[in-house]
Every structure is written in C-alpha cells, then in structure tokens.
Amino acid sequence: MTSRDKIGQLFMVGFLGTSVTPDLASFIKEYKPGGVILFSRNLESIEQMVNLTNDLQACSPHSPLLISIDQEGGRVSRLPKGFTIFPPCDVLGRCNSTELAYAAAATIAKELRAVGVNMNMAPVLDVNSNPDNPVIGDRAFGTTPDVVCELGMATAAGLQGNRVVACGKHFPGHGDTNTDSHKELPVVEASRERLETIEFPPFRHAIAQGIASMMTAHVLYRALDPELPATLSPAIINSFLRQELKYDGVVLTDDLEMHAIIDHYGVEDAAVRAVLAGCDVLLICKDRDREVAAFGAIEQAVASGAISMERLNVSADRIARLKDRFIKPYKPVTVSDARLIAGCQSHQSLLRTIEQVDARSFQVRDQKFEVRGSGF
C-alpha cells in the first residue's frame, strides 16, 4: 500500500444521494477512503440499502470499506421504514437491564449486517450530567456513570458479538455541556476530579472491556487542555487516552464539518491537528470539496514530514486490524436475506418487550412518588 493509499484509509466520508453515481465511484477509486458514513438522506428501503452498500464496496479497489451509520435509537436513527427502530437509550436506562440492552444492540447489528453496514456509531458513553445539555439528553443511558458503564458495555458487546464495530462516544464526555458542538464550541469548566468521578468512568470501563473504536468530542475541557478541543488535543488523545488509559483501538474524530471545529480551524488545519493529536480516522460527513481539501492537507503534511511515515503507519495498521477483525473476508449481501432479517417478527417482539418494561418502570416510579407525596 502506497503512502497515498494509507492516507485514504484515514478518511471516512459522507455523500449526497441514494446510489453510487459515476462521480462518487470515481472519488472512491481515486482517494481510496477507508470508510463511508450513511445518513437518512442516503437511505430509502431495504432493497436500496443492499444495492448501495454492495455498489460502494465494489468501488473500493483494495480494501473493504467500513460502512458506518448512527443507529443509536430514538431521535438518532438513520434507518428507513422496514427496520426495527428502538427507543432512545434513556428508555433502556429506565429498564435497567443489561440483557435487554445487549439484545437490542444484537438486533440492530443483525439488521445492519443484513444490508451491508458493518459499523455503528454507538454506544453513547456520555453521562447526562447537565440538565441544560441540548444535544445529549435522552441519547444517554442515564444520569450516573454506573448505569452508563453497565448498559454501554452491554450495547458494545451486542454489536461486536454480531460483527459490527462499536464506537464509544464522545470521548472524554459530552454530557456536561450546555451548548451543542454541531453549532458552536462547548467549554467544560469542571475540575479534573469531577471529570474523573462522573465523565471518565464509562470510557475507562469500555477500554477495559475491549471496545473496538472511540469517537472524540469537539469540546474544550479546561482541566485537561485549556486551549484545544479534545479532537485536536495531543494532551487528551495522545497523553491521556493513548498513554494513560493505554487505548490502542481506532480513534475517530466527530464530524470535522461541525461548527465547533470549522468555525475556529478550517477543515485542512483540523485534519492535520487531529492526526497529530492521535486520531486515526477523520470523519467528514457531507462536503466533497472539504473532503478533498482535507486529503490534500494530510498528503502535504506527510510529504513535508510534519506527519511522519511512522505516525501514518500506526493509524493505517490500526484500521487494517479493525477491518481484519470485523469485515474480512468481505461478502456481498442479498436482498432476500435482508428481507428475512430486517424488521422480522422476533425483533419486533423484543421492541414491544422493551416498551412494556419501560411502561412498568413508569408505573413503579409513579407509585413511589404518590407514597412519598402522601406523607408516609
């Protein structure tokens, strides 16, 4: 693999449309990205998804693509009609059952694999510790680290046990922000002691349990690095995540087009900074011009020695190991198999069970509230 090929492997890109156009096929063949990410804008039906993922893989000249999606459940669900769509993570938190969390994740994984998707940007390992948080909320399993640890790891196990890459997010924690990093750069003023007590435990637990990948947060943590957001911070990624926590899995950036990054650094500068900070995969979710610009910036940084070949090889090797573990040998998927699995009766039954357990938990809480309110 040439250095240009290795640079391509560092990129996970989004695109417009619901099929592989000649332009998209040409882009994949020229730049050889390591992966793509799918959004609702790309997805219409089971049959269309099978055709899309097979066609995407056919364009990748030497290495199967990581084909990823955000399928957390609830409001962060990209799959179209016909699939089993679970409620948000806080419902599983209220159910307080690792068995149900594992089963839900295993079901999602089976349906994703059936249509050619091999990576899910989940579980959310953020603790919903700030009631004013505009972006996490019900996406988190709960408001305490213990429940997030338990259910987050059950979710990761359900995904990875069914050969879908799990991605814990958003390291080192997006739960205590009061702004949305899609729109602006959040700043967390919490002390290191509080971060260690509340935000970090789910990520430490995930690393101990062997989660395959992590996504960084576009958040500035003054106690860890007073100048740079986590995605671009060597202190947070290289020193804390890699050296102190000893994590050697694949680290992805969150989307580098989010305003927390793009308004302050620009995509070219951000891409180079993220690699130098210790990230392996650069996520750019929509704009082709920015994807090409970021590729050019990394290529120039490698040519100049700003990013060493040794550094490039480390990330390329991590990505290769991830693909070896989860998606090789690659085999195309079929519409007939996908229709048997996606939205099947047993999966719908599990969804109803989760909804029933959640409803019973509401009744129990209401009864407890009534007892407390009565003065007993």
Tell me the per-residue pLDDT of 35-67, one tens digit each, with 9 for 90 and over.
Answer: 999 999 999 999 999 999 999 999 997 789 999
Could you say which of 55, 182, 259, 264 is catalytic?
182
pLDDT for the residue 375: 40
Per the annotation, the verdict on 254 as an active-site residue is yes
> Cα separations (Å) of 298 from 52, 253, 263, 276?
28, 15, 20, 10
Residue reference for tokens 């958003």: 170
Please compute the mean of the pLDDT values over residues 83-104 and round it to a whole number: 97
Judge whether residue 130 has pLDDT over 50.
yes
How far is Cα 278 from Cα 267, in angstroms, rounded to an integer? Answer: 17
| Percent above pLDDT 70 for the chain | 96
How far is Cα 144 from Cα 156, in angstroms, rounded to an integer? Answer: 18
Could you tell me which of 323, 325, 333, 334 has the C-alpha nearest to residue 64?
Answer: 323
Judge whether residue 373 has pLDDT over 90.
no
309 near 302, Cβ under 8 Å?
yes
**pLDDT band, residue 376 (cuts 50/70/90):** very low
Residue reference for tokens 């992805």: 252
pLDDT for the residue 131: 85
pLDDT for the residue 364: 61
Amino acid letter at 78?
A: R
Handedness of CA 338, 344, 346, 349 (dihedral sign): positive
> Cα separations (Å) of 129 from 136, 141, 231, 318, 369?
10, 11, 21, 32, 22
pLDDT for the residue 62: 76
Q: 3-state class of 36 per DSSP?
A: strand
Please, what is the Cα angle at 55 between 51 and 58, to 5 degrees?
145
Which burial class, exposed, middle or buried, applies to 209 when counting CB atoms under 10 A from its CB (0-12, 13-18, 19+)?
A: middle
216 near 253, Cβ under 8 Å?
yes
The structure tokens listed for 58 are: 């056919």
Could you say which of 254, 255, 280, 287 is catalytic?
254
pLDDT for the residue 182: 87
pLDDT for the residue 179: 78
pLDDT for the residue 366: 53
Angle, helix 267-277 to helix 288-304, in steps of 10 degrees: 50
Tell me the per-residue pLDDT of 273-325, one tens digit each, with 9 for 90 and over.
Answer: 999 999 999 999 999 999 999 999 999 999 999 999 999 999 999 999 999 99
Residue reference for tokens 């599983």: 92
CB contact burial 32-46 (16+ within 10 A = b; e otherwise): bbbbbbbeeebbebb
How far is Cα 112 from Cα 266, in angstroms, rounded to an integer? Answer: 33
Q: What is the mean pLDDT of the chain?
A: 94
How far is Cα 313 from Cα 309, in angstroms, rounded to an integer? Answer: 6
How far is Cα 55 from Cα 57, in angstroms, rounded to an integer? Answer: 5
3.20.20.300, 3.90.1150.10, 3.40.50.150, 3.30.43.10: CATH of 3-373: 3.20.20.300
